[in-house]
Amino acid sequence: MESVRCAHCGRVVPANPRIKNQTHCSLEACRRDKKRLWQQQKMATDSEYKANQRDCWKDWRERVCPRFYTKVRWQTYFQLISPGFRMLRIFLT
Ligand SMILES: [Zn+2]
C-alpha cells in the first residue's frame, strides 16, 4: 500500500486510493490547510475567480453590515487614543 506524507502535519498515512494526488491526511486541520492552499493557488492562477471572490466579499460587506464596519472603525480609533494603548505602543517600540 502506498503512503503519503501530509504536507501540513508531516504524518505518514496510508494513501487513500479514492483521492488523486493526495497531499494531506484526513485530520480536520490538515483538510482545512489543503483547502486554504487550494484557494491560494486558485487566487494566484485564476484572475476571474479572484475578482469573483473580491466582489462577493465586497457585496457582503456593503449589504450585510455597513454598521459593523463603522463600529470597528470607532473601536480602532478609541484604542489608538486610549492611554493604555499608547503605553503599550511605547513599551513595544
Ligand atoms: Zn496532516
Question: Could you read off the pLDDT of 33-43 as tens digits, one per residue?
Answer: 999 999 889 88
Given pLDDT bands bounded at 50, 70 and 90, which one contains residue 90? low
Q: How many A from CA of 19 to the centre of ligand 1?
A: 15
**CA pair distance 85, 79, nearest whole angstrom:** 6
What cell was used for 59? Answer: 457585496
Residue 7 has pLDDT above 90, yes or no: yes
Least confident of 7-11, 16-20, 45-49, 64-68: 64-68
Q: Which amino acid is at 73?
A: R
Expressed in percent and rounded to 5, the helix, strand and coil fractions of the chain are: 65, 5, 25
Q: How many A from CA of 52 to the centre of ligand 1?
A: 30
**CA pair distance 68, 39, nearest whole angstrom:** 26
Q: How many A from CA of 68 to the centre of ligand 1?
A: 36
Q: How many A from CA of 13 to the centre of ligand 1?
A: 8
